[in-house]
Amino acid sequence: MDDDRILLEGMVFHGYHGTLDAERELGQRFVVDLALYLDLGPAGRSDDLALTVDYGEAHRRAREIVEGEPVDLTETVAERIAAALLADHPTVGAVRVKVAKPQVRLRGTVLAGSAVEILRRR
């Protein structure tokens, strides 16, 4: 895995994922952090956007998935984001995806949040 990476942190989207009826009906905030691992040297030396990953495209793809078709598990959301980014960007050798749900309610208790973080390599 390359040591260079592009970080996109704190992207906030509204989605309808979860196993509870309220999560599916009302939706909730999801916070997504991404790390895309690739050699940034060629882009840095040439100042050529075509040799790196356009942050806007990575953001759009994450938003499309979080705000798209509801699924039960946060793990599924993370897997879909990772798979899409690897498919869209052949120069990316690995991607780390963190999907957080702030203020999770569990049996009358409100947690500061829960999160899933995965690392997928090409």
Residues 61 and 42: their CA atoms lie apart, in Å, by 24
Greater model confidence, 31 or 113: 31
Mean pLDDT for 65-71 is 97
Is 121 exposed, middle or buried (CB count within 10 Å of its CB: 0-12, 13-18, 19+)? exposed
> Model pTM?
0.93
Whether the Cβ atoms of residue 29 and residue 102 lie closer than 8 Å to each other = yes
Domains and CATH numbers, the chain: 5-121 (3.30.1130.10)
- Would the pLDDT of 1 be above 90? no
Question: What digits encode the pLDDT tens for the residues 32-59?
Answer: 999 999 999 999 999 999 999 999 999 9
Phi, then psi, of 97 in degrees rounded to 5 = -125, 125
Active-site residues, by number, are 101
